[in-house]
Structure 1
Amino acid sequence: MEEINEVEFPENNNDELYEHFRFVADKGQQPLRVDKYLMNKIENATRNRIQKAAKDGNIYVNDHPVKSNYKVKANDVVRVLFAHPPYEFLLVPEDIPLDIVHEDDEVLVVNKPAGMVVHPGHGNYSGTLINALTFHFENLPSNSNDRPGLVHRIDKDTSGLLVVAKTEHAMTHLSKQFFDKTTEREYVALVWGNVEEEEGTVEGNIGRHPKNRLQNTVFLGDEADKGKPAVTHYEVLERLGYVTLVSCRLETGRTHQIRVHMKHIGHTLFNDERYGGEKILKGTAFSKYKQFVENCFKTLPRQALHARTLGFEHPTSGEMLRFEAPVPEDMENCLEKWRNYSKHSKE
C-alpha cells in the first residue's frame, strides 16, 4: 500500500452508505476489539478517528453496526461505511505528462517517475498515474477495484515500468499473465552490505507486520502459513564496498516484496525509510563517511529501487514483448558517488 496521510472518518448524515473498507477476519483470529483490529488494517488511521466512526454508526460487522468494544472473531466480515463514495472512485482527469515507452491499440507501457502514486487512495486523490491516464486516454477498462487500465502497480517511490490495459480483452489477458506468473519483471536495487552469494533466491510468505502496520514482513516457523507466498531471485550486478547493486526478478508480486525480502536476508534497500534503510547500516565511524552517506541520501531521497525491465505476451498477437527503462538520474548519480568512494577506498 502506498504512503497516505491521515484517514478522515466523516459523519454519516444520510441513509445511503458506501463501502470504504472491507476485511474478513482470518480463521485463526483471536477475539480483538474492532477499533484495535482496524488500527492494524487501515494505514495511518488513528484510534480516535476509528472510535468516532464506530460512535457515528459507520463500522459494521456481519452487516450490523457495532461499537468500538466489539470483539472481532474468526470469519467476521468487518466493513467501514460512509455517506460518500470513496474518494479514489471520484477520478478527476489531470493533464500530467506521461513517459510512454510503448503504445498500440491494446496496451500501453509507461515509465513511472519516483514520487508518483499509481492510483488514488486516502491522502492521495490527485497527481496519480491513474489521474494522468484518464486524461490522456478515454474508455480505459475498469478492474474490480475500479482502477482504469491497471493490472499491476509499483510503490510511490519506486521508479520504472508498468503495463496498462487499453481494452477489456487486454485487461483480462494481462491479469491472467500476472496471476499465472508468466510475466517477466526485473528490478535493480542498491542494498546495504556486501551480498555474499553471486546469486540466490529468497522464499517466504509476506504479510503485514504484526507490530508495525506500515511494514510487511516474512513469516517463518510456526507462522509460516501466514501471509502470501513470495519468491524473489537476485543476482549481484556490482559490489561497491558497503553497498551492493543487485538485480531482482519477481515470481510473485506482493506489496513491498523486494524491500521485505532483501531486508529479511540482511540487506535493506539503501535509503528505504520505511524499512530502516535511511540509517547508516554498514561502514565506518568516520565523520567523513557519515557526511558522504548523507550526501548520497540527498542525491537519492527515496528507496534505491527501479523497475528496469518488463516482459509480457501481447494480448492479441501473442508476441512476447520486452521493454527496458534506464536507471533514472537520481539513482545513477547515487551509484556514481558509491563507485568513486569504493574505488578511492581501495587505493
Structure 2
Amino acid sequence: METTELTVVTGGERLDRYVSEHLPDLSRAAVQRLIENGNILVAGRVRKASYRVQAGETISVSIPPPESSIAQPETIPLDIIHEDENVIVVNKPAGMVVHPAAGHSGGTLVNAVLAHAPNLNVGGVERPGIVHRLDSETSGLIVVAKNDAALRDLQAQFKARRVHKTYLALVQGPIKPPRGKIDAPIGRDPKHRQRMAVVTHGTTRESVTIYRTIANLEGCTLIEAEPQTGRTHQIRVHLAFMGFPVVGDAVYGKRKNALGLTRHFLHAWKLALTLPDGRPADFTAPLPEDLRAVLEGLGFDYAAIGM
C-alpha cells in the first residue's frame, strides 16, 4: 500500500477538498471513499470528510493497490467534439480524471471511452488510446487514439511539437508584461514532492509557455496560454512563478480568491493538429458554465472571444 504524507500549510479547508487538491491524481470522490475506508488519517486519527484541517497537521493518505490494472467500460456521458475512424476529440468536464490510478479505478475518461468504443485496445490496458493528459480540475479538449497507427502518429506530432494547444486562464492581478514567453525549467518541488515547481538544479525539464492578455478585469486578467512543452501542471506552475496564479488554484495559488469557483479557472480551449488521415484540423471547446458565470460576474462578455 502506497502512503503519502501532507503537512497542512494553511488551515480552514475541508479534509476531502484539501487532499484532492494536493494529490491531483485523486478526485474528490476518490478521496471521500478513502476517508470512509479509514485510509486517510489526520494526526493519526480518523476524521470525517467535512473536517476542517488545521495548519501544521499531518495528513497520512494510504492508497491501496488497484483491484485490477485493466480499465473497465462505464457508461458515462461524453461531450464529443469530433470522431472518425482514427480519433475521438472530447471536451472533458472539470472533475473527471483522465485515466484510472491507485485509489481511483472508475469514473475516468478512459472508462467512458471504453464504453463508447468497445473495441478500443491501443496503448496499453491502463491508458488505452491516451496521448496526452489534462488535470482533473482542468476542463476542455483532449484527443484519444482509436488504433495503433493513430496513436503512433499523434505521439510523433506531440513529440515534434506540431500539436498546438491554447488554454484560457483567469489569473490573479493585472499580469505584467501583458504578453510574453515564460522559459523556466520545471521539476519536482524539493519541499513538497507532490507538487511541481520552477527549479534550477536537480532533475528538471525544459518548459516554455507563451501567453497573451485578452482582458483586464477587476483585479484579474483573462489570458490565453500556449504551452510549447508538455510538463505536469506547466501553465499553473509558470503563472504562479510569475506572481499571477490561476484563480481558484489551491495548490499553486489561494482558493480564497476563487470568485465562487470550486476548481481552478483553466480550460483547454483550442487544439490544432493533423489528423492521422492527413487532414489539418482545428477544434474549439466552449467555455463551461461555471467559468462563463465568473467572467460575466466580472463584467466581461465571453462572446467577445468567440465563445
The normalised TM-score by structure 2 is: 0.76
Q: 2:273 aligns with which of 312, 327, 334?
A: 312
Give the structure 1 partner of residue 100 of structure 2: 120
Q: Distance in 2 between matches of 1:174 and 1:88?
A: 27
Corresponding residue to 1:278 among 232, 255, 262: 255
Corresponding residue of 1:338: 298
- CA RMSD between the two structures: 2.5
Instruction: State the distance in 1 between where 2:235 and 2:217 align.
Output: 20
Q: CA deviation at 1:145?
A: 7.2
- Residues 97-246 of structure 1: matches in 2 within 5 Å? 97-143=77-123, 146-220=126-200, 223=201, 226-246=203-223
Partners of 2:124 and 2:204 lie apart in 1 by 22
CA drift of 1:93 comes to 0.8
User: 3-state DSSP class of the match of 2:209?
Assistant: strand
Q: Which amino acid letter does the alignment assign opposite residue 334 of structure 1? A: V
Counterpart of 2:287, as a letter, is V
Task: Write the deviation string for residues 98-147 of structure 1: whole angstroms up to 9, x where unpaired.
Answer: 00000000111000000111101122111100000111102324325731
SS at match of 2:213: strand
Q: Shift of residue 335 of structure 1?
A: 1.1
The corresponding residue for 1:60 is none
Asked whether 1:91 is paired with 2:39, we answer no
What residue identity is the alignment partner of 1:261?
H
The aligned counterpart of 1:268 is 245
The offset of 1:267, in angstroms, is 0.5
Identity of aligned residues (%): 41
TM norm structure 1: 0.68
For structure 1, which runs of at least 5 residues remain unmatched after alignment? 11-43, 51-81, 281-292, 341-347
Residues 1:211 and 1:122: Cα distance change in structure 2 (over 3 Å): same
| Alpha-carbon spacing, 1:276–1:232, altered in 2? closer, same or farther (3 Å) | same
Aligned-residue offset at 1:88: 6.1
Contact 2:71/2:126 (8 A) holds in 1: no
- Residue aligning to 1:327: 287
**Count of aligned pairs between the two proteins:** 252
Equivalent residues in 2 for 1:55-94, closer than 5 Å: 86-87=66-67, 89-94=69-74
1:62-93 per-residue CA deviation (whole Å, 9 max, x = no partner) reads xxxxxxxxxxxxxxxxxxxx9x7x44623121
Equivalent positions of 1:291-310 (< 5 A) are 296-297=259-260, 300-310=261-271
| Pair member with larger Rg | 1
Larger helix proportion of the pair: 1
Conserved in 1, the CA contact under 8 Å of 2:25 and 2:101?
no
Structure 2 Cα separation of the partners of residues 241 and 171 of structure 1:
43
- Alignment deviations for residues 226-270 of structure 1 (CA, whole Å, 9 cap, x no partner): 321111000001101311001000111111000000000000010
Quickly say closer, same or farther: Cα 1:136–1:126, change in 2 above 3 A.
same
